[in-house]
């Protein structure tokens, strides 16, 4: 090879490398690599799949039923300053973080269950925003914060089982399993249960408003209490970050249910920033054998010690050792 040829080849290699890097860059930056084409329910489908169910005291109210068509139809962007700054009209909220509209009869009673430990700043942001957000939906809700009050690794799924047990004792027919660091962005993502368990946060900013994989079932989920019971809740065995939501998804499939999602314009969420949790090194192994334990590990094997239950003005605080 003479010098001229060498120069030429070198330039070709350069171009090839440049092209390759450009493609890698585009691949990483654009969301095509995500599972963008998940199945979702469109606006017209939403009212057909919602399950109207309320607690006894609400059902006894002598009021016209609330209408939800405007909230879902408008689907306004709600992540605004005045919703984030302070709890508006806080006199409307009952002790324990409960609310129901006074001028119409709510059609949905939901328990919002939030597993928690040492995230005070986020909790403040969550409670302020969520009480403003949820009341505009005119549903009946109560926020249950389940705090892991021990030094063991964080067990998100077990805290959900505990919260679900207490919510069911309080007669709630619908459970919303909610991470404290996630906030919904649009008014129409109705905090209510659908026939099928629903993944509510399929358009999360952290994942560039898309799903990293189609079976993702973490973050915020709405599930009827009855279904949660049928699938034996979540596993109690996942200590530390990751895998418990995948296990939950498998439990749902194992009982012949499938999940649903609303279209992305309803399912937008923002994630509050925080340091990453310690991953559970054992999660892969637990997941591969999880199906063998669905019927023996869950609500029916749940043990815990409730240290205290505090009725705060914005939430019901359940402190547990697990
Ligand atoms: C997945 C995690 C989920 C988590 C999502 C989104 C696992 C299991 C690996 C065998 N699953 O990777 O728990 O919700 O990422 O962050 O780690």
Q: What span, in angstroms and rounded, lies between the C-alpha atoms of 223 and 215?
A: 16
Q: Is 284 in the pocket of ligand 1 (CB under 6 A)?
A: yes
The percent of residues above 90 in pLDDT, for the chain, comes to 87
What is the CA(243)–ligand 1 centre distance, in A? Answer: 5
Residue listed under structure tokens 């077990």? 158
- What mean pLDDT is predicted for residues 72-96? 98
pLDDT score, position 12: 83
Supply the angle between the helices 156-169 and 244-254 in degrees, to the nearest 10. 50
Residue 181 CB partners (closer than 8 Å, separation 6+): 119, 122, 126, 271, 272, 274
- pLDDT value at residue 104: 98
Across 49-72, average pLDDT = 98
Residue 156 CB less than 6 A away from ligand 1: no
Distance between CA atoms of residues 135 and 238, nearest Å:
34
Contact (Cβ atoms closer than 8 angstroms) between residue 237 and residue 302? no
What is the residue-averaged pLDDT of the chain?
A: 95
Predicted pLDDT of residue 1? 53
Q: Which of 202, 218, 251, 286 to mutate to test the pocket of ligand 1 (most atoms within 8 A of CB)?
A: 218
Residue range 193-210: mean pLDDT, rounded: 96
Nearest CA owner, ligand 1 atom 10: 284
Instruction: Tell which atom from ligand 1 comes closest to the C-alpha of 212.
Output: 6
List, in sequence order, every residue forming a beta bridge with 310; answer none if it has no partner: 317
Tokens of 90: 């806080």
Model-level pTM?
A: 0.91
Question: Does domain 37-321 sit in CATH 3.90.550.10?
Answer: yes
Q: What are the structural domain ranges in the chain?
A: 1-33, 37-321
Q: Tokens for 246?
A: 């995948």
d(CA 93, ligand 1 centre) in Å: 35
Give the β-pairing of 203-204 and 316-321. unpaired
Statement: residue 190 has pLDDT above 70: yes
Measure 208 CA to ligand 1 centroid, in angstroms. 17
Q: Within the chain, how many helices (H) and strands (E) appear?
A: 10, 11
Cβ atoms within 10 Å, residue 312: 13
Cβ partners under 8 Å of residue 48, min gap 6: none
Give residue-wise pLDDT tens across range 262-319: 999 999 999 999 888 899 999 999 999 999 999 999 999 999 999 999 999 999 999 9
- Ligand 1 near 240 CB (within 6 A): no
In this structure, the residue with its CA closest to atom 7 of ligand 1 is 243
Answer yes or no: is the C-beta of 283 below 6 A from any ligand 1 atom: yes
Query: Please, which pLDDT band fits residue 25 given cuts at 50, 70 and 90?
Result: confident
- Counting ligand 1 atoms within 8 A of each CB, the residue from 242, 244, 278, 283 with the most, and so the one to mutate, is 242
Ligand 1 proximity of 163 Cβ (cutoff 6 Å): no
**Token pair listed for 276:** 């990453």
């Amino acid at each position: 090879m003479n010098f001229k040829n060498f120069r030429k080849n070198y330039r070709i290699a350069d171009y090839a490398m440049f092209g390759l890097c450009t493609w890698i860059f585009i691949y990483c930056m654009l969301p095509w690599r995500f599972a963008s084409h998940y199945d979702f329910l469109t606006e017209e489908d939403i009212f057909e799949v919602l399950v109207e169910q309320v607690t006894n005291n609400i059902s006894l109210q002598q009021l016209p039923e609330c209408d939800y068509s405007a909230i879902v139809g408008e689907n306004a962007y709600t992540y605004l300053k005045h919703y984030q700054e302070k709890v508006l009209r806080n006199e409307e909220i009952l002790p324990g973080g409960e609310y129901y509209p006074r001028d119409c009869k709510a059609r949905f009673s939901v328990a919002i269950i939030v597993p928690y430990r040492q995230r005070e700043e986020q909790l403040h942001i969550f409670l302020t925003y969520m009480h403003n957000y949820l009341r505009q939906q005119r549903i009946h809700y109560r926020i249950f914060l389940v705090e892991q009050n021990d030094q063991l690794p964080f067990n998100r799924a077990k805290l959900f089982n505990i919260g679900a047990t207490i919510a069911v004792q309080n007669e709630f027919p619908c459970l919303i399993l909610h991470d404290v660091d996630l906030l919904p962005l649009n008014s129409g993502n109705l905090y209510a249960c659908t026939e099928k368990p629903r993944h509510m946060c399929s358009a999360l900013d952290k994942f560039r408003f898309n799903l990293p994989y189609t079976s993702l079932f973490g973050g915020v989920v709405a599930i009827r209490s009855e279904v949660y019971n049928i699938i034996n809740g979540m596993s109690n065995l996942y200590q530390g970050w990751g895998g418990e939501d995948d296990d939950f998804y498998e439990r749902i499939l194992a009982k012949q249910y499938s999940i649903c999602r609303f279209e992305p314009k309803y399912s937008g969420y923002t994630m509050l920033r925080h340091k990453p949790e310690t991953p559970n090194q054992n999660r892969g192994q637990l997941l591969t054998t999880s199906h063998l334990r669905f019927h023996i590990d869950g609500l029916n094997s749940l043990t815990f010690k409730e240290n205290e239950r505090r009725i705060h003005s914005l939430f019901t605080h359940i402190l547990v050792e697990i």
